[in-house]
Amino acid sequence: MGGPDAVYRALVDERRRIVLSVLRRHHTVPLPDLAESVAESEFDEDVAAISGESIRDVYMSLYHTHVPLLEAADLVRYEQADDVVAWTGATEDRLSAARDRVDALLDD
């Protein structure tokens, strides 16, 4: 399990925050569907209006970069055999702990 710095590193990127937002609502999402949801959010368009190439690029970045980083921070679980990304039992706790540490900085 990654420490607090792994969680902060994961939250730096907007694409990863979108992934977490989608997973918070749906808990388990096939990676192709997740790529479509991320693309819709980033392009502010319905998936039908986004090129297949753009969606493929989002998928590839999720597969190669973003999901592995989120998994290393113990924020998601990726099942390669099913190509599914899931919110873990620890996700909410790890995000809440990160928020509490930031709040503590503001309270000092």
Write out pLDDT tens, residues 82-107.
Answer: 999 999 989 999 999 999 988 998 88
Number of structural domains (the chain) is 1
CATH of the domain at 54: 1.10.10.10
Residue type, position 48, single letter:
A
The pLDDT, as a whole number, for residue 108 is 64
Contact between residue 76 and residue 70 where contact means Cβ atoms under 8 Å apart? yes
Please provide the DSSP assignment of 23-85 as one string: HHHHSEEEHHHHHHHHHHHHHTS-GGGS-HHHHHHHHHHIIIIIHHHHHHTTSEEEETTTTEE
pLDDT at 27 over 70: yes
pLDDT at 3 over 90: no
Nearest to 18 by CA among 73, 68, 54, 58: 58
Q: Which two tokens stand for residue 57?
A: 């690029």
The pLDDT, as a whole number, for residue 1 is 61
Quick one: which H or E segment has residue 98? Answer: helix 91-107
Write out pLDDT tens, residues 40-87.
Answer: 999 999 999 999 999 999 999 999 999 999 999 999 999 999 999 999
Mean pLDDT score of the chain: 94
Per the structure, the complete domain to which residue 88 belongs is given by: 4-107
User: For residue 45, how many C-alpha atoms fall within 13 Å in the half-sphere facing its CB?
Assistant: 9
The pLDDT, as a whole number, for residue 2 is 73
